[in-house]
């Protein structure tokens, strides 16, 4: 089975610019997650989708971050405007239903804000 696809792999932008990341989950996985992983820390959940509905976005900085999952498949995560502290790896993961049996991560997008 194909894995979780993410693009781009790397992105460097200046502060106050905008950026978008794309994720294609494993086929048939209803749940999609976006995580932010700052260097030396574990991943932090930003937003969780079940099909095309938002299940949990309590830790998403909504003044600058937005995400959508149109048609319940692919998803995009956007940051506008970016701040220096947004420099991190953005991981996308997908799973069946609640993820009780584990989920699969993509390779991530490494964002550097300068």
Partner 1 sequence: KNQVEQSPQSLIILEGKNCTLQCNYTVSPFSNLRWYKQDTGRGPVSLTIMTFSENTKSNGRYTATLDADTKQSSLHITASQLSDSASYICVVSGMAGGFKTIFGAGTRLFVKA
- Cα separation, 8 vs 104, in Å, equals 18
Beta strands 10-13; 109-113: pairing state: parallel
| Residue keyed to tokens 């932010």 | 36
Our finding on whether 98 is near partner 1 (CB under 8 A) is yes
Our finding on whether 27 is near partner 1 (CB under 8 A) is no
Q: How far is the CB of 83 from partner 1 (least distance, A)?
A: 22
Our finding on whether 23 is near partner 1 (CB under 8 A) is no
Q: How far is the CB of 107 from partner 1 (least distance, A)?
A: 5
Our finding on whether 107 is near partner 1 (CB under 8 A) is yes
- Cα separation, 108 vs 97, in Å, equals 22
End-to-end alpha-carbon separation of the chain, Å? 37
Binding site for partner 1 (CB under 8 A): 4, 40-45, 56, 91, 93, 98-102, 104-108, 110
């Amino acid at each position: 089975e194909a894995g979780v696809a993410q693009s781009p792999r790397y992105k460097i932008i200046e502060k106050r610019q905008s950026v978008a990341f794309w994720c294609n989950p494993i086929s048939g996985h209803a749940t999609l997650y976006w995580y932010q992983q700052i260097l030396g820390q574990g991943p932090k959940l930003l937003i969780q989708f079940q099909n095309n509905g938002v299940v949990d976005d309590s830790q998403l900085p909504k003044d600058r971050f937005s995400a959508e999952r149109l048609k319940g498949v692919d998803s995009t995560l956007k940051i506008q405007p970016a701040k220096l502290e947004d420099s991190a790896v953005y991981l996308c993961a997908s799973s069946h239903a609640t993820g009780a049996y584990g989920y699969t991560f993509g390779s991530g997008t490494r964002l550097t804000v300068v």
